[in-house]
């Protein structure tokens, strides 16, 4: 268990804040629209090169976040799934 927050460089803090701020812009495909990322970068005063970096990092954070969410969903399904013995017992209760 970590007692303290990890030290982040100011630019790392900016990228993480951008990700969390942009999270509310997710669309039906559960991804942040490219145009919203670019707009965020422009409003922050980033040049085109740094906006490209921002887009890449936001996409990477999205990928990792979605991978974690899907893993948690799978883990929960496995925990909630009845065991073979429980399924057999339920089937025998239905018959009898």
**22 CB contacts (<8 Å, ≥6 apart)?**
32, 36, 37, 40, 58
Q: Is residue 75 part of a domain?
A: yes
Helix 34-43 to helix 10-22 angle (10° resolution) is 130
Q: Is residue 5 part of a domain?
A: no
Q: Tell me what pLDDT residue 90 has.
A: 67
| Segments forming the whole domain that contains residue 33 | 10-95
pTM, entire model: 0.66
Q: Is residue 2 part of a domain?
A: no
Tally the domains of the chain.
Answer: 1
Q: Is residue 1 part of a domain?
A: no
Q: Tell me what pLDDT residue 5 has.
A: 81
Q: Is residue 76 part of a domain?
A: yes
What's the rounded Cα separation, in Å, for the pair 62 and 27?
13
Query: In this structure, how many other beta carbons lie within 10 angstroms of the beta carbon of residue 19?
Result: 19
User: Consecutive 10-residue runs of the chain (96 residues): their mean pLDDT?
Assistant: 80 94 84 95 97 96 84 68 68 68
Q: Is residue 39 part of a domain?
A: yes
């Amino acid at each position: 268990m970590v007692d303290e927050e990890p030290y982040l460089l100011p630019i790392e803090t900016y990228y993480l804040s951008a990700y969390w701020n942009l999270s509310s812009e997710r669309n039906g495909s559960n991804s942040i629209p490219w145009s919203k990322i670019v707009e965020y970068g422009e409003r922050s005063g980033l040049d085109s090169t740094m906006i490209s970096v921002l887009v890449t990092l936001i996409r990477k954070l999205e990928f990792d976040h979605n991978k974690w969410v899907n893993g948690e969903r799978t883990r929960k399904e496995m925990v909630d799934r009845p065991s073979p013995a429980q399924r057999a017992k339920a089937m025998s209760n239905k018959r009898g």
